Amino acid sequence: MKIVGILLILLFCFESKSNINFNAKSTTLENGLKLIVVENSRAPVVAQMMWYNFGSNIEQRGKSGLAHFMEHLMFKGTKKYPKSYFSDYISKIGGSENAFTSYDYTAYYQIFPKQHVEKIIELEADRMKNLTLTQKNVEIEKKVILEERFQRIESDPSAQLDESMRTVLFPNDYYGRPIIGWKHEIENLSFDNVMEFYKENYNPSNAILVLSGDIKFKNAKKLVNKYYKFIKPGKKLNLKKLNNPDLKTSTNVELRNENVKQQIWKRIYRTKSYNESITKAIALDLGMKILAGGTSSLLYEEFVNKKKLFSMVGGFFQGLTKGNGYIYFYAIPNKKIEQNEISELLDKFIAQAIEKGVTEEKLILEKKKYYYDSIYGMDGILKPAEIIGEALTIGLTINDIENWNYKLDEINLEMVKKELKEFSKNYNFVTGNLRN
């Protein structure tokens, strides 16, 4: 399974001169399950995504990793369809599947030939409430997850540094805990912990089912109602947002590891999200792309191409979150440079770039990229289900998605610079340095 802080590019952004939209149709069953359908008959294929409105955000303190653990266990079968029946069926019909856990949501998806849509809907509904687990398969899967943590984090100094930096930056909420969980807490998770989590949270009231591809809304509604209407609604989650205290001190984190071959400088800022303001977040995202997004960015041109101080430098904004968003920067020096020297170089350049480097021409180019990317995303089978599901689970609406183009059109250079200047005065950040 893959864990994602799910960093989806906003492929649903486009200019209003384009009349492209998802034309998503929706309904809500009596038990609270939301159904979204995006019809696309270009190919005889359907994508199903089940989005649960929770991830590691609902874990009790001391039980980190439980949401991700549960994601793994959802593939263990039910009484009617035991063991790996679901996965074997997907493989047999030439389909594909996967799942991921984030801080704010958990999702399961399948892509398959359209003639199998009823069976796939039935199988997903069945495991929502009929999962059968044993002490043995819980313990076996725990070992798998501990090995996954070892491979992803404990054997990767860069990932360890990120984990430490987030703990400092988000001291008061779940964004400061690793999605996979702390090793000592994973080891203590029990069969009873898992079953309680499953029974309490896996229900229609906390779920959004998105079907995208060669399926009509009328047929989808009929099939979903057939297999889900008998599942009782559960307690709907109503999480209160926890605010983090402002960082009053300059916070630097350094990790030394003898296996590190090349120094890496990092910085993570705590910032706004799309939930706070879609328009302001789009402006910030566009500004960050101009400033630090890829090999055409201002940072890359200055420090890689011209001055040749770094082999890589860049950054991005992630605002598709229920709570705070964040901005992430990184730089890989060609030779050893002190952490504070890198920080001063980048801070000084960013301030200058906001004033003189972020231009109307560059903004127009970034808007065009959003537009062309949206066409590609619209034409896919899985991408609409990903975009819609993520947006809804973090608190946006279908109306927000379908009218994103109008928000994008409102963005001008003054708005972009305003958001970048606000970011440059943000002292809620942690700087990290990885070296041997």
Nearest CA among 142, 27, 15 for reference residue 76: 142
Q: Which of 15, 30, 71, 147 is catalytic?
A: 71
Spatial distance between the Cα atoms of 55 and 179, rounded to a whole number of angstroms: 8
Phi, psi angles (nearest 5°) of residue 197: -60, -45
Task: Report the C-alpha dihedral over residues 428, 319, 34, 201, rounded to 10 degrees.
Answer: -40
Segments in 293-359 forming alpha helices (H): 298-300, 339-352
> One-letter amino acid identity for 375?
I
Spatial distance between the Cα atoms of 234 and 216, rounded to a whole number of angstroms: 28
Element (H, E) at 363: helix 360-378
Nearest CA among 380, 289, 282, 338 for reference residue 40: 380
Nearest CA among 75, 71, 106 for reference residue 88: 75
Instruction: Write the CB contacts of 407 (distance below 8 Å, at least 6 apart in sequence).
Output: 278, 279, 282
Widest distance between CA atoms in the chain: 65
Confirm if 176 and 56 have CB atoms less than 8 A apart. no
Known active-site residue 71: yes
User: What positions carry a catalytic annotation?
Assistant: 71
